[in-house]
Amino acid sequence: MMIVLSGMIGAGKSSLTTILAEHLGTQAFYEQVDDNPVLPLFYADPKKYAFLLQIYFLNKRFASIKRALADDNNVLDRSIYEDSLFFHINADMGRATEQEVQVYDELLDNMMEELPYAAHKKAPDLLVHLEISYDKMLEHIKKRGRSYEQPENDSSLVGYYHNLLDRYDAWYQNYNYSPKMQINCDQLDFVDNPVDRQKVLALIDEQLKKRGTL
């Protein structure tokens, strides 16, 4: 069984990944953020480093997925299927050239074709998408305190975050690589509220049982 999470910056993907891995007694795989040497460079100069950052993430994520697919049960805190969404938003904001977009899209396509040959399954068993409002997302971002993510330090982030939120709805509706479900993070606080945490775990367990993977 492999579960992947998706959702906005600050939605709580890493937290739910930890909770799910403990609940299921399996391994968690995390997106490299705190020790990512390119991420601060991107926030300081998005136009210069957008392509490098996305290639960095794509490489790390591909390696994580191959390791996860090689084992029986795992939870990943970010899906590779979201990578194109992030990079194309940056491209539309003038942070990447047409040539960079072409190179990136071709590389991603090649990686996606290789995944079935890297392991015994072609796709996750379940995608858990974390839906969140702009205000709640900002609350989470402020709480974890990464300076380069704060809109008050960079006003351009306001448009960037709203752009991501607007596009995530369509991305989720069009996602068809695996079974999927949504968790409303405004209504269910699985980090600080034990009752909400159990509700979220029960919802995910229900989906897994329906598909015979739990």
Residue-wise pLDDT for 125-154, tens only, equals 899 999 999 999 999 999 988 888 899 988
Q: How confident is the model at residue 183, as a pLDDT?
A: 97
pLDDT higher than 80, residue 192 = yes
**Which domains are present in the chain?**
2-210 (3.40.50.300)
Q: How confident is the model at residue 84, as a pLDDT?
A: 87
Residues 141-170, mean pLDDT to the nearest whole number: 90
Q: How confident is the model at residue 191, as a pLDDT?
A: 94
- Burial class from Cβ neighbours inside 10 Å (0-12, 13-18, 19+) for residue 149 reads buried
Q: Which residues are annotated as a binding site?
A: 7-15, 31, 43, 54, 78, 83, 149, 188-190
d(CA 16, CA 42): 26
Question: CB within 8 A of 188, min separation 6: which ones?
Answer: 196, 199, 200
In contact, 39 and 32? CB cutoff 8 Å = no
d(CA 83, CA 35): 19
Name the residue with tokens 């210069």: 48
Q: Are strands 2-7 and 27-29 parallel, antiparallel or unpaired?
A: unpaired
Question: CB within 8 A of 60, min separation 6: which ones?
Answer: 31, 32
d(CA 49, CA 75): 29
Provide the mean pLDDT of the chain: 89
Q: Which residues are annotated as a binding site for substrate?
A: 31, 43, 54, 78, 83, 149
Top-confidence range, 72-81, 103-112, 153-162, 179-188:
179-188
Q: How far apart are the two ends of the chain, measured CA to CA in Å?
A: 8
Encoded amino acid at 88, one letter: H
Tokens of 138: 């900002």
Tokens of 172: 């989720």
Q: Which residues are catalytic?
A: 77
DSSP-derived letter for residue 77 is: S
String of DSSP letters for 10-52? TSSHHHHHHHHHHHHT-EEE----TT-SSHHHHHH-HHHHHHH
Q: How confident is the model at residue 63, as a pLDDT?
A: 83
Best CA proximity match to 17, nearest among 190, 208, 194: 190
Q: Which residues are annotated as a binding site for ATP?
A: 7-15, 188-190
Q: How confident is the model at residue 35, as a pLDDT?
A: 78
Q: How confident is the model at residue 113, as a pLDDT?
A: 80
Q: How confident is the model at residue 78, as a pLDDT?
A: 85
* Percentage, residues of the chain above pLDDT 90: 55
* Percentage, residues of the chain above pLDDT 70: 95
